[in-house]
Amino acid sequence: MRVAVYPGSFDPITNGHLDIIERASKIFDKVVVGVLNNKNKKPQFTAAERVSLIRAVTGHLENVEAASFDGLLVDFAGRHGANVIIKGLRTVNDFEYEFQMALLNKTLSDDCETMFMMTNSKYSYISSSMVKELAGYNGNLEGIVPSEIIQYIKEKCGQ
Ligand code: PNS
């Protein structure tokens, strides 16, 4: 069985993330979305909330799961029997950092391959930080995050 992990902060999940998850779910037998529970970062949404939001918008994808993790990504991948890490690339700005992480992860676990998917051009400008800022100013989030979680995000971001 080909299992991939798709890691990130997902604070919160956006339509750009969901597009990558949907495309990856067609390529792999199972995709495990890994939500980093990093105590050094100060997320707006708790890890449990981020996992729930992901589950709420991926219910139509039978081979997608979501779970939080702390510690190393390669260990999380190993626990889930995954030997592929999926990453989405939006712009060339993403590349350098992602390239570094891919090489580091390859050094940590030689069996684990990082595979990059280019973002859908419709979503290349979307980021979770932009979503939080927009939500904080009561901006329109239609088309930017899945509609079923807009209200929750707005309430949580102060609107
Ligand atoms: O959405 P993000 O914040 O860009 O995701 C970053 C993430 C979670 C993929 C990265 O920070 C990560 O893999 N963290 C786990 C710790 C780890 O394995 N570090 C070594 C590789 S950088």
Query: What residue numbers bound the domain in which 97 lies?
Result: 3-124
Catalytic residues: 17, 41, 90, 128
Q: Is residue 71 a part of any domain in this protein?
A: yes
Which residue, by CA, sits nearest to atom 8 of ligand 1?
8
pLDDT the model gives residue 159: 58
Neighbours of 30 (CB within 10 A): 18
Ordered strands of the 3-8 beta sheet: 64-69, 30-36, 3-8, 84-89, 113-118
* 0.75 exceeded by pTM: yes
Q: Is residue 86 a part of any domain in this protein?
A: yes
Q: Is residue 139 a part of any domain in this protein?
A: no
pLDDT of 62-93, one tens digit each? 999 999 999 999 999 999 999 999 999 998 88
Question: In degrees rounded to 5, what are phi and psi of residue 81?
Answer: 65, 30
Task: Check pocket membership of 36 for ligand 1, CB cut-off 6 A.
Answer: yes
Domain count, the chain: 1
pLDDT the model gives residue 158: 80
Task: Check pocket membership of 105 for ligand 1, CB cut-off 6 A.
Answer: yes
3-state class (DSSP) for residue 35: strand
CATH value at residue 34: 3.40.50.620
pLDDT the model gives residue 39: 76
- Got the DSSP string for 75-128? HHHHHTT--EEEEEE-SHHHHHHHHHHHHHHHHH-TTPEEEEEEPPGGGTT--H
Q: Is residue 148 a part of any domain in this protein?
A: no
pLDDT the model gives residue 27: 98
- In angstroms, the CA 98 to CA 89 distance is 8
Q: How far is the CA of 138 from the centre of ligand 1 (A)?
A: 30
Positions in the chain whose pLDDT score sits under 50: none
pLDDT the model gives residue 100: 96
